[in-house]
Amino acid sequence: MATTSTPFDVQELMSRFMFDLAAIPLFSVDPNLLSMYMPPMEAAVALDTVMEVAFLRLMMPASCWKSMRWLNIGPERKLKAAHTVLGEFVTEMLERRKINTCPVGNDEEEEVVDIISSFINDPDYADDDLGQAMIISYMLAARDTVGTTLTWLFYNLTQNPDIISIIRKELSPVASRKVAAGARAMLTFEPDDIESLVYLRATLYETLRLYPPAPLEIKMVAADDILPSGHKVHAGDTILISILSTRRMKSVWGNDCLDYNPSRWLTEDGNNIRYVPSHKFLAFNSGPRMCLGKNIAIMQMKTVIAAVLWNFDVQVVEGQSIQPKPSCILEMKNGLILKLKKRDM
C-alpha cells in the first residue's frame, strides 16, 4: 500500500489486526484476517452488529425491541443472525485449537497455554452458552476499543502535522539506537523502547478523551438513592451516562475542551504525564471495575503508533464524511480512507 500509495480503510485494517491479536492468546489459533488475500471477516462484522443492536435497544422502550425479537424482524433479526455467525466462529476456533494441541508423541503432548483453557477447566463456565458469551465479551473488549481508538488517532494526526513532528522527534533517539545496533529497513519498537516517551502517551490519552471507544456507561440502580446532583433514583432504574459528553464539558476540561491538544496531559516541565483521576478520565473505567487489560491496550496502541509514524507519512483522502456510527462503540460510520508513503530518511 505504501509502495503504490493505494488508498485503504484504516478502520477495517485495524479491525482485522486487533481481531487476530485478540484471538491468538484466546484460542492459540490465528484467524489470519490480516493475511495478504484479506479473507471475509464474517465474525468481525457480526461483532459490529451486536454493538449496533445493543445501542438501538438503549434508544427504544424495552417492549419495542422485545416485540421485534419475538417477531424476528428488524435489528433483532440481524442480531439473531449475528449470534449464529459468532457461535459458528467460536466452535471453529475451538476445533482448530484441538487439532493444534493433539498429541505429538506416544507419551508427550504439546502444552498450550491460552485464555480459553481457563474457561474449559473452570466448572463455573461449564455451560456452553455462558462460555460462549464470555468469549465474545473478551473479543469485543480486546478488538473494538483498541482498533477504534487508533482510527480516530490517525485521523486527528493527519489534521495536526505538528503533533506528528513532535512524536517523531521523541522517537528519534530510540530509532538511532536501533539503527546503530544493526536494524535495517522498517523499524519496529518494543514496549520497553517507548515506555518513557511522554508525548506519545499524551497523544494517545487525548484521543481517548475526545473519542472514547465506549462512549456510554450504563448502570442499574440496586436500591433507592439520591445522587450527588440531587436526582432521586429508584431500584431497577437504568442510568445512562454519556462519557462522550463529559469529555467535552468546559466545566471539566476547560475552555479548550474541544481542541485536540496532547500538551494538556503534560506537567509544566513537559517531562511527565500529569495526574488525572480515573473518575474524571474514564477511558478504562475506575475503582474495582478498572479495565484489566489497560496496560496491554496502551502498550499495543503505542507500538502501532510509533511504527506507523516513524516509517510512513500518513495522508487522509479528501472528501470523506467523518462521523460516528450509532453504536455502543464509537466507530466511524464510513470508515477512514488513508494513504501511506514511505518516509525518506
- Cα–Cα distance for residue pair 128/2, rounded to 1 Å: 44
Q: How far is CA 223 from the centre of its chain?
A: 33
* Residues listed for the chain: 345
Give dist(CA 189, CA 309) in Å, integer: 11
Range scoring the smallest mean pLDDT among 21-25, 48-52, 180-184, 272-276: 180-184
| 27-38 pLDDT tens trace | 777 888 888 888
pLDDT for 113 equals 58
Q: pLDDT band for 106, please (50, 70, 90 cuts).
A: very low
User: Residue 162 is placed in which grid cell?
Assistant: 505538528
Q: Please state, in angstroms and rounded to a whole number, the distance separating the CA atoms of residues 159 and 205.
A: 17
Q: How far apart are CA 72 and CA 66, in angstroms?
A: 9
As a three-state string, the secondary structure of 297-314 is HHHHHHHHHHHHHHHEEE
Closest CA to 28 of 117, 161, 105, 89: 117
Distance CA 16, CA 41 (A): 8
Domain with 16, as residue range(s), is 8-342
Q: What are phi and psi of 250, to 5 degrees?
A: -60, -35
Domain-embedded: residue 2: no
pTM of the model: 0.87
Strands 216-220 and 232-233: unpaired
152 contacts 220 by C-beta, under 8 angstroms: no
316 — pLDDT class (breaks 50, 70, 90): very high
Taking only Cα atoms into account, the Rg of the chain, rounded to an integer number of angstroms, comes to 22
The number of domains in the chain is 1
Q: How confident is the model at residue 104 (pLDDT cuts 50, 70, 90)?
A: very low
Sign of the alpha-carbon dihedral angle for 50, 53, 55, 58: negative
Residue 7: band (very low, low, confident or very high) from pLDDT cuts 50, 70, 90: very high
Strands annotated E in 132-252: 216-220, 225-226, 232-233, 238-242
Is 3 within the bounds of a domain?
Answer: no
Say what the pLDDT of residue 127 is.
61
C-alpha cell at 6: 493505494
Write out the binding residues for heme: 291
User: Across the chain, what does the average pLDDT equal?
Assistant: 87
The pLDDT of residue 111: 53
Task: Point out the annotated binding site.
Answer: 291
- CA distances from residue 244 to 93, 157, 247, 293 in whole angstroms, order as listed: 35, 20, 5, 21
Q: What SS3 string covers 100-155? A: HCCECCCCCECCCCCHHHHHHCCHHHCCHHHHHHHHHHHHHHHHHHHHHHHHHHHH
Q: What is the pLDDT of residue 291?
A: 83
DSSP 3-state percent helix, strand, coil across the chain (nearest 5) = 55, 10, 35
> One-letter amino acid identity for 252?
V
Q: Residue 232 contacts by C-beta under 8 Å, 6 or more apart in sequence?
A: 224, 225, 226
CB 266, CB 199: distance < 8 Å? yes
Kindly state whether residue 1 falls inside one of the protein's structural domains: no
Cell of 169: 522527534
Q: Provide the CATH number for the domain around residue 167.
A: 1.10.630.10
Give yes or no for residue 99 having a pLDDT over 90: no
**In this structure, is residue 39 part of a structural domain?**
yes
